[in-house]
């Protein structure tokens, strides 16, 4: 079976000098290898092909019989690495917390331990007849969420 850590190092070396970054590497017991990459500017076919060539140079198919798929992280797939949070600063995201709360708002900050989204909330002030919408920042630790993903709205 292919060594997942060695494969990740190989992919990171192939991406050096680009704005692309490694999101995930998966290796199944029957050597089906899936590599997900992302970029600040989007992933093109040439980047995927370059990563494929580098992996095939490093891991001989005659020694390790494997199937390789290199692609971009899906637009609505959950974020897996901090670089995806950085990429989506200023975008609307959907967050599902471990307690089951679903939040939608703009990602305004992504730190090493936590991130902050700005959510819209209805608030009724004393003396007013109707509630008004206000923006409120919500800070969550990465380990407090089940998933965060880009919010695709039409």
The model carries a pTM of 0.87
- Domain of 101? 82-150
| More confident position, 74 or 106 | 106
Q: Above 90 in pLDDT, residue 93?
A: yes
CATH of the domain at 10: 3.30.300
Q: How far apart are CA 145 and CA 147, in angstroms?
A: 5
Return d(Cα 142, Cα 58) in angstroms, integer.
34
pLDDT at 63 over 90: no
CATH of the domain at 89: 2.30.30.100
CA pair distance 136, 116, nearest whole angstrom: 10
* pLDDT tens sequence across 109-139: 999 999 999 999 988 888 888 888 999 999 9
Neighbour count for residue 148 (Cβ, 10 Å)? 24
**What is the arithmetic mean of pLDDT over 57-76?**
90
- 135 and 101 belong to one structural domain: yes
The conformation of residue 113, written as its DSSP 8-state character, comes to: S
132: DSSP letter: E
Q: Measured between alpha carbons, how far is 36 from 21 in angstroms, rounded to an integer?
A: 9
In a domain, 77, yes or no: no
pLDDT tens figures, 26-53: 999 999 999 999 999 889 999 999 999 9
């Amino acid at each position: 079976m292919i060594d997942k850590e060695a494969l990740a190092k190989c992919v990171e070396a192939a991406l050096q000098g680009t704005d692309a970054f490694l999101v995930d590497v998966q290796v199944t017991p029957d050597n089906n290898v899936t590599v997900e990459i992302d970029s600040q500017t989007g992933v093109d076919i040439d980047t995927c092909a370059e990563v494929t060539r580098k992996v095939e140079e490093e891991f001989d198919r005659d020694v390790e019989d494997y199937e390789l798929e290199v692609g971009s992280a899906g637009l609505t797939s959950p974020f897996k690495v901090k670089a995806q949070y950085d990429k989506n600063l200023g975008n609307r995201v959907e967050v599902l917390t471990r307690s089951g709360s679903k939040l939608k708002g703009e990602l305004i900050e992504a730190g090493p331990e936590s991130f902050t989204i700005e959510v819209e909330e209805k608030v009724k002030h004393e003396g007013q007849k109707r509630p008004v919408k206000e923006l409120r920042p919500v800070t969550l630790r990465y380990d407090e969420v089940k998933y965060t993903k880009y919010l695709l709205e039409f």
